[in-house]
Chains A and B, each alone.
Chain A
Amino acid sequence: MKKTQYGVSPDTHRVLIKYLLMTKLVILLIFAFSTQGFARTYGQGISLNLEKVQLKKVLKTIEQQGDFRFVYKDQLLKGNQLVSIEVENASLDEVLSRVLENTKLTYRRMSDHLVVIAGNELADQLLLAQKAIVVTGKVTSETGDPLAGVSVIEKTTNNGTFTAADGAFSIEVSNASAVLVFSYIGFKSTEVSVNDRTELGSIVMTPDVTSMSDIVVVGYGSVRKKDLTSSVVTVTSKDFLPGAVNSPMQMIDGKVAGLTVSNPAAADPNRGTDVQVRGAGSFRAGNGPLIIIDGVPGGDLRNIAQQDIESITVLKDAASAAIYGSRGAGGVILVQTKRGKAGKVSLTYDSYIEHDAVAAKPDILSAEEFLSHNRDVDLGSRTNWYDELIRENNFGQNHFLSISGGNENSVFRISGNYRTKQGIDIATDRKESGLRANFLQKAIDGLLEISGNVSYRTAKEEYTNYGAFKQAVKLNPTIAIMDADDPTRYNTLQGFDTYNPVQDLKARENGADQTYSIIDLNFKLNITKDLNTEVKLARQGHDMLRREYYNGKSAESVNNGYIGRARLQSEKWLDYTLEWLGNYAKRIDRHDLRVVAGYSYQEFNNQGFWSQNRRFPSDAFSYNNIGAGNYGNGQAINMTDVMGSWKSKEKNIAFLGRANYNFDDTYFLTVSARYEGNTKFGADNKWGLFPSASAAWRISNLPAFQSISAINDLKLRFSYGVTGRSGFDRYTSLAKYQGYGRYQNDDGQWIQVYGPGNNYNPDLRWEKQIAYNLGVDFGLFNNRLSGSIDAFLRKGSDLINDYLVPVPPYLHDRMFVNVGTQSNRGIELTLNWNAIQGKDFSYTTTVTGSYIKSKMDKFSNDKFKADRRFMGDLPSPGNPGPAYLLREGTEIGSFWGYKYAGVDDEGKILIWKDAVVGKEAIVASSDADAERDKTFIGNGMPRYELAWGNTFTYKAFDLALFFRGRFDYEIINLYQMYFGLQAEPNVNLLQDAYTRNGQITSGKVITDYFLESGDYFKLDNLTLGWSPAIGNSKVKSLRIYATVRNVFTLTKYTGLDPTTVSVTGLTPGFGSLDVYPIARNFSLGAQITF
């Protein structure tokens, strides 16, 4: 169909609808290609060189150039004079305005492709139709079920209604050619032209697969979500958890099954979160995922304002991560920042203010109770140490402004933010501000696309000391804060691990000035419609100036009789990335093939120096005149005590490739490989190959399923891949001589001695991880219920650990070698349910859950032997030994200790001999034998994680409740051991010492008595939002919201909060003594878009 002849009225409308439909198809196709990034860009110019030809011929010639089609009535073109035209790369508007210049004809672009040439008669016809009419009809699903609450709106107006319970609607439209737009969540928006009718009959809406047809960014490219063959989850900004966060990862905490986000000091704005994908498995090669920001691997999340993030994608299985090779085994997190969009310039102001309130305090003895229990002498004061460390009136603010816009050839976006946050304690503070800009410019008729990001961010951080809060618990509450003899000075306390925490936090400055920057540029050349190549260049920088000054009132100054110690450390990280990719895409009939291949070069540099001095003339200089001190006071000094510097470099080089094939949108196959090398690897093992394969089968396309109306989509996935871990230190595999202590040389001068520095290992390579993933994606009941289930098995081998090696012959008893295997297996579930979709009210709920088990399978090989590894040494005083033991076959995070058997008549802890409950109870302090009586008493890694999100909307209001929980794990509660037993002398104690643990009079031993279930379920985020319809056309949208984070927690754990206990890494569930206060955060925010 090249052109269509038509008569005058009433066919006009029908024809127009046909065109519209046709256009939609074209747009869809364009969308499908251009989003893959392969299609030749549409919109090249028209070139004509015609001399005195019929108008019809001109249009025909333009059509032959491929981009446009014309619709006209033949008669209209007859009788017009001949035209001549010579243009090169001209726009359509330019050409048509010239050729139609002296005619009565007008033209109208119906779409990017379709152009209607019209005369006066047609215009008249359309005008005649402008008369209000009432139109009725009924909306049903494909299966004929009536749909209630469907919104029916006359296009380009605000005129609208909803369907009734039986799906029927009635609406008065402005004219007989009006177009109605039907929309309903879960269904494709449908447009129907009235076409002079008053009864439209049954309108069938088809299920929306938009959520399934979203484009998901994967490594080196993107795919439609519905085409995924591996386990990949994307969370877009609209689904981020709202409210004030200290790390972007907090915004997706609980949104991705299998992603563990853990932050034992969540309220500390200077602390990042610990992130782990599908469990821990590595001793020394890192358990964190690879972060990729806008395609640049090895990014730093601190570089981005939370409002700049468009989406966060987690590549969970090895098949998706294998394209990142030796760094992919811990999972990959892809962060996409927001881009500009062609069209009207848009301005967004997105800000909030926040406040932290103490959510829980340790329940310790008051001064009076302390004295009545004869804990220690009354030193006269009454001090609530914990309260003294809290800043009650803390405040935070985050202002963000962005502007974006552009046209079809260039888009831009610029954003900036300013954030301040006072910690909930008296020391912590953070101020940061940043600017970010990105652009996309097409050139040479779309042949070349240049895009890039520039970002610059600074942060001024002031640090606290988590240990101060332990002091606040254990200190005698009758000690005065200030010196009784001199109220301007602090009361400097003496004793083992005893200090004045107020003095510790106040009599010093301890912070850092951070600067982060990113520049990346991407040059893309569209060679043919199917083939393009691109080069990415990126530079990521991070500078840090650490500043410390312990003034004359600090304990170290007072104790050592000097004024002040200053230390400055400057460190910088500079990473360069060069990547060169080629992309090819071809669709022939039902075969769809896409291939990417490329080369990646990355360089990571780190350099720094520091200097310190002490014994200053006064506190006036702080750290700003470091030469003014007198470090040695006349004594010889060791230069390594006062200064140092270092530099290191790492290079990572890779060749990569991937092919995606899809047959009939039903069978999918993806294979990829990365051949990668890194300077850190041993000389004999510089390079490795990381292959993957994954396949998917859309079962719902089977004829048998087509008839089952409840199933909209059902896809089975299976993947296999090999990834690596390489997060060990640089120069580990290199034979080095290094400086040790000092000794006299032949002349009696003290020189630094140099000797063999390490047991170097030229075989050292990445840790290898082979993983399998079996998954199902589904959409049911008109896609109102959708989700996925994944089961995975990951087997880590060649684990890097500093193994005991025989001395002799080795020089050191530890050496980095690749030995041992480990496995993680688990199941993950994600469910989305659009439970209620009413006219005014809707309710959507999301559940993510995971089950995981991580085991240490093997420690030894023929050459390197180990049968166990103790970990998690408990601290002094009275360090009772290590809390964890890993043996072959044990779960990671297994606690090792005695079985509690009550107390004897004197209150001494009894334990079961041979760890057999009921056998023989013996006194732990005198009769226990660790070899004989200790056993595995629990596990600190949560086996189940659950998150449950709920969103309610009522008219302009929305309410979101986000619950989260972790289950089936234990925490070793060090507070109960160290401050919960009466036997601990002199220190202040928890109330529990005389209640819960009142029966115990002896000292601490590691028994299951001190293990507590860590299970918890908390309302982590409660947000109420209001998004009123704005009458003002200048304001596109307005939203005001209030969020409370950490609302309440249901748990039996007696510590402050189970989330203060890290659950990542190899010693999960370690309830440390140094606990930063747990906060309930309140924030109030506004988002306005102009």
Chain B
Amino acid sequence: MNIIKLTLYMLLLFTLVVGPSCTKLEEEAFNVLPADSYYQDKNSIIAALVRPYEHGHWCGWDGDRWLLQELTADQFVWAQKGKHGYDDGQWVRLHGHAWNPDQGQIYGGWVGPYQGIGQCNLIISDMSKLDYPAFGLTDADKAQHIAELRTLRAWFYLFLIDFFREVPIVENVGEVKPQSTPQEVFAYIEKELKESLPGLPQNGRAGRWDQGGAAALLVRLYLNAEKWTGTAKFTECATIAQEIIDGKYGAYDIDTDYRGPFRSGVNGYRSPENIFEFPHAKNIYEFGWMYNAMMHYQARYSLDNDWGGWNGIHLIPSRDLEGNLYPEKLGKAYEKFANDDKRKQPFRTTSSDGDYEGFFLIGQQYEFDKAKGYGYDSTKMVNGTEEYNGKPLHYVDQVGRFSEKPGGRWAEGSHVTTGEENTGVRLLKFPWLPMSENLFQFNSAPEIRLAEIYYSLAECKYRAGDKAGAAKLMDAVRKRNFPDDKWAAQSYENNLSALTDDEFVDDLGREFIGERHRRTDLVRWDRFGDAWWDKPEDGADKTVFPIPSQAINANPELKSNGY
């Protein structure tokens, strides 16, 4: 046969066989889901709906946003502990209000909420296009889902207006927009919450926005309106707070137990006080960052779990190296609590069912009593691993290089940089219960409690001159913190003169310690620039964070907000 002919036939055959697939380059997806084919059923809609909530928990209770609210204020610090925790000086800067637009947490304060906003925008846009009945859902479901996401988006915007004031309002995916004024941002949040509220259920599921939640966000918005926009809205705040308390948006009650709102989620308990909480479950969805950020490496032996801990954040010291209380009004977070206050007790578990007492770890640490399943075994001290390697671990309400006393760095005094491994009282308000009893990491994160509505209304009244009204509301929450026989001495109603501006600020601190409130509260009370412990008085206004340089670098539309 003619070779050339043969070859031609072969080529033709080859081209026919191989040809059709020879230039196709579409990606074949296996364990990834292409966006255009994501929505398949009801479950995929719900899974997308709750994605921004899941991000919301991270945004609110994991890292930068919490750090910006608490480490810049007068209750918490991440002191350097010997060789650990200097971390390029970032904690020193947060404490000393010496940040610049490159500070990582400030960028986190920007990007975290905006990611949530972007998710809400995208999923709202997806849902608007979906034919819900075709997926076995109703159009009412659709309206509710969109209302929930708009509320959640407003919650994300609250971070932004609080941190930066002038931020872009973005509702559409892929849209680059310039900044809006604080007033525009405020008005937008107000509009979104008011429009969404009617479409939400009352007393909805834990971890989902409902009418009470949306109304509570309006309370937050109005309470801070003066600082955020220059126009006070205390009247509006009081009105809606009163409506919430009156049950207009659902049934809520102040928990009778001071621990109740914080052990919501444990053993199936749901506190009637919690208007919005992020639920948790061990191994599934954990309240993990805060454990690690606050707990010592060895804390697992006293608290009974298998976690590591970074030994980072603790209370600002109440006492100097000689043991004297610091003279500044602010700070001294631990010693602000009265000795009769139940919350001031050292944390200990009192039953194997998850009962416990106290909000703090202080003093000598003992191993968990595994035999009993609760409490400590006072014969087994937990030892340190660093400065107190092989020696008992004993938390002190002071910051200094006691392990080197009188030499070494002892002379440097008490600063963010002079901590050691046992430095600082540790917060255990969010109870890290025994893992061996299957109680670890089930507690919810209390995003908004009815107590906050009481305190907000009290503040409106206090500012309006109704001190008695304020005292009554605050006492309604505070009573649970004291034994009945000690209450009379603690009641503001009974001691109305005790309720001063300073006292109000101190009590806000006591009630909401660790709940990501403190910076906003200090700003609202004009005390954010004051001095405490290792922080001097601010030379300039630090109440607003600068627009982070990373954000400005990435977006030519953004202008500095002047800080």
B47 near A752: Cβ-Cβ < 8 Å? yes
CA distance A746 to B18 in the complex (A): 50
Residues of A with C-beta under 8 A to B175: 808-809
What mask results when residues 409 to 421 of chain B are scored 1 for a CB within 8 Å of chain A, else 0? 0000000010000
A813 near B111: Cβ-Cβ < 8 Å? yes
Residues of A with C-beta under 8 A to B32: 648, 731, 734, 736, 738, 757
CA distance A756 to B120 in the complex (A): 10
Knowing A646-B31, A877-B83 are in contact, say whether A748-B205 is a contact too (CB < 8 A): yes
Please tell me which one of the listed residues A731, A746, A804, A867 contacts residue B46 in the complex, with CB atoms under 8 A apart: A746
CA distance A740 to B119 in the complex (A): 13
Contact segment of B50-58, B239-247, B339-347, B511-519: B50-58
Kindly provide the distance from the CB of A565 to the nearest chain B CB, expressed in whole angstroms: 12
B25 near A653: Cβ-Cβ < 8 Å? yes
Knowing A496-B297, A984-B83 are in contact, say whether A646-B30 is a contact too (CB < 8 A): yes
Within 8 Å of chain B (Cβ to Cβ): is A879? yes
Residues of B with C-beta under 8 A to A635: 282-283, 438
Residues of B with C-beta under 8 A to A754: 33, 38, 44, 47-48, 51
Within 8 Å of chain B (Cβ to Cβ): is A617? no
Contact segment of A148-156, A178-186, A637-645, A820-828: A637-645
Residues of A with C-beta under 8 A to B18: 578, 601
Residues of A with C-beta under 8 A to B417: 925
Knowing A635-B283, A931-B100 are in contact, say whether A806-B385 is a contact too (CB < 8 A): no
What mask results when residues 528 to 571 of chain A are scored 1 for a CB within 8 Å of chain B, else 0? 10000101000000000000000000000001100000000000
What mask results when residues 871 to 889 of chain A are scored 1 for a CB within 8 Å of chain B, else 0? 0000011111100000000
CA distance A750 to B442 in the complex (A): 13
Residues of A with C-beta under 8 A to B54: 740-743, 753
Knowing A744-B207, A806-B551, A809-B174 are in contact, say whether A638-B50 is a contact too (CB < 8 A): no
Within 8 Å of chain B (Cβ to Cβ): is A745? yes
Contact segment of B228-236, B493-501, B537-545, B552-560: B552-560
A810 near B118: Cβ-Cβ < 8 Å? yes
Residues of A with C-beta under 8 A to B173: 809, 811
A496 near B386: Cβ-Cβ < 8 Å? yes
CA distance A1000 to B113 in the complex (A): 44
With CB as the reference atom, state the residue of chain B lying closest to A631.
B283
Within 8 Å of chain A (Cβ to Cβ): is B36? yes
Please tell me which one of the listed residues A653, A681, A865 contacts residue B553 in the complex, with CB atoms under 8 A apart: A865
Please tell me which one of the listed residues A379, A742, A810, A985 contacts residue B82 in the complex, with CB atoms under 8 A apart: A985
Knowing A754-B44, A804-B550, A985-B82 are in contact, say whether A735-B50 is a contact too (CB < 8 A): no
What range describes how many residues of B lie at the interface?
Answer: 35 or more
B385 near A809: Cβ-Cβ < 8 Å? no
Contact segment of A93-101, A139-147, A620-628, A672-680: A672-680
Kindly provide the distance from the CB of A489 to the nearest chain B CB, expressed in whole angstroms: 18
Kindly provide the distance from the CB of B412 to the nearest chain A CB, expressed in whole angstroms: 9
B51 near A876: Cβ-Cβ < 8 Å? no
Residues of A with C-beta under 8 A to B172: 809
B25 near A677: Cβ-Cβ < 8 Å? yes
What mask results when residues 153 to 177 of chain B are scored 1 for a CB within 8 Å of chain A, else 0? 0000000000000001010111111
What range describes how many residues of A lie at the interface?
Answer: 35 or more
Within 8 Å of chain B (Cβ to Cβ): is A447? yes
CA distance A163 to B556 in the complex (A): 81
Within 8 Å of chain B (Cβ to Cβ): is A610? no
Kindly provide the distance from the CB of A1076 to the nearest chain B CB, expressed in whole angstroms: 25
B50 near A753: Cβ-Cβ < 8 Å? yes
B46 near A745: Cβ-Cβ < 8 Å? yes
Kindly provide the distance from the CB of A321 to the nearest chain B CB, expressed in whole angstroms: 22
Within 8 Å of chain B (Cβ to Cβ): is A377? yes
Residues of A with C-beta under 8 A to B36: 735
Residues of A with C-beta under 8 A to B7: 525, 527, 533
Residues of A with C-beta under 8 A to B386: 495-496, 985-986
Contact segment of B84-92, B209-217, B319-327, B474-482: B84-92
Within 8 Å of chain A (Cβ to Cβ): is B123? yes
Within 8 Å of chain A (Cβ to Cβ): is B66? no
B170 near A679: Cβ-Cβ < 8 Å? no
CA distance A346 to B399 in the complex (A): 80
Knowing A744-B50, A865-B556 are in contact, say whether A636-B283 is a contact too (CB < 8 A): yes
Within 8 Å of chain A (Cβ to Cβ): is B136? no
Residues of A with C-beta under 8 A to B554: 803-807, 813, 864-866
Knowing A751-B47, A755-B51 are in contact, say whether A876-B206 is a contact too (CB < 8 A): no
A498 near B385: Cβ-Cβ < 8 Å? yes
CA distance A1068 to B101 in the complex (A): 29
Knowing A878-B84, A984-B83 are in contact, say whether A753-B22 is a contact too (CB < 8 A): no
B35 near A736: Cβ-Cβ < 8 Å? yes
What mask results when residues 297 to 308 of chain B are scored 1 for a CB within 8 Å of chain A, else 0? 110000000100
Kindly provide the distance from the CB of B284 to the nearest chain A CB, expressed in whole angstroms: 5
B28 near A878: Cβ-Cβ < 8 Å? no
Within 8 Å of chain B (Cβ to Cβ): is A649? yes
With CB as the reference atom, state the residue of chain B lying closest to A732.
B27
Within 8 Å of chain B (Cβ to Cβ): is A812? yes
Residues of A with C-beta under 8 A to B553: 804, 865-867
Within 8 Å of chain A (Cβ to Cβ): is B379? no
CA distance A742 to B57 in the complex (A): 11
With CB as the reference atom, state the residue of chain A lying closest to B36.
A735
B51 near A634: Cβ-Cβ < 8 Å? no
Kindly provide the distance from the CB of A558 to the nearest chain B CB, expressed in whole angstroms: 11
CA distance A757 to B122 in the complex (A): 12
What mask results when residues 666 to 687 of chain A are scored 1 for a CB within 8 Å of chain B, else 0? 0000000000011111000011
Residues of A with C-beta under 8 A to B22: 599, 601, 653
CA distance A985 to B409 in the complex (A): 12
Within 8 Å of chain B (Cβ to Cβ): is A373? no
With CB as the reference atom, state the residue of chain A lying closest to B21.
A601
B34 near A734: Cβ-Cβ < 8 Å? yes
Kindly provide the distance from the CB of A893 to the nearest chain B CB, expressed in whole angstroms: 21
Within 8 Å of chain B (Cβ to Cβ): is A1028? no
What mask results when residues 793 to 810 of chain A are scored 1 for a CB within 8 Å of chain B, else 0? 000000000011111111
CA distance A805 to B557 in the complex (A): 12
With CB as the reference atom, state the residue of chain B lying closest to A642.
B283
With CB as the reference atom, state the residue of chain A lying closest to B35.
A735
Please tell me which one of the listed residues B55, B82, B84 contacts residue A740 in the complex, with CB atoms under 8 A apart: B55
Which residue, of B174, B438, B554, has the highest number of chain A Cβ atoms within 10 A?
B554
A876 near B170: Cβ-Cβ < 8 Å? no
Within 8 Å of chain B (Cβ to Cβ): is A760? yes
With CB as the reference atom, state the residue of chain B lying closest to A379.
B390
A495 near B306: Cβ-Cβ < 8 Å? no
Residues of A with C-beta under 8 A to B52: 755
Within 8 Å of chain A (Cβ to Cβ): is B114? yes
B285 near A743: Cβ-Cβ < 8 Å? yes
Within 8 Å of chain A (Cβ to Cβ): is B473? no
Residues of B with C-beta under 8 A to A109: none
Q: From residue 767 to 808 of chain A, which have CB atoms closer than 8 A to chain B?
A: 803-808
A686 near B25: Cβ-Cβ < 8 Å? yes
Within 8 Å of chain A (Cβ to Cβ): is B353? no
Within 8 Å of chain B (Cβ to Cβ): is A188? no
Within 8 Å of chain A (Cβ to Cβ): is B26? yes
Within 8 Å of chain B (Cβ to Cβ): is A376? yes
Please tell me which one of the listed residues A528, A533, A807, A930 contacts residue B551 in the complex, with CB atoms under 8 A apart: A807
Knowing A686-B25, A804-B554 are in contact, say whether A737-B284 is a contact too (CB < 8 A): no
Residues of B with C-beta under 8 A to A986: 386-387, 389
With CB as the reference atom, state the residue of chain A lying closest to B420.
A985
A753 near B51: Cβ-Cβ < 8 Å? yes
Which residue, of B100, B555, B558, has the highest number of chain A Cβ atoms within 10 A?
B555
The 6 closest A-B pairs by CB, nearest first: A495-B385, A755-B51, A806-B555, A647-B30, A808-B170, A735-B35
- In the complex, 12 of the A-B residue pairs with CB atoms within 8 angstroms, ordered by the A residue number, are A494-B298, A525-B10, A559-B306, A607-B30, A635-B282, A679-B28, A741-B58, A742-B54, A809-B170, A811-B173, A879-B87, A985-B82
Known: A730-B27, A750-B281, A808-B118. 6 other contacts (CB 8 A): A535-B14, A635-B438, A647-B30, A649-B28, A755-B122, A756-B119
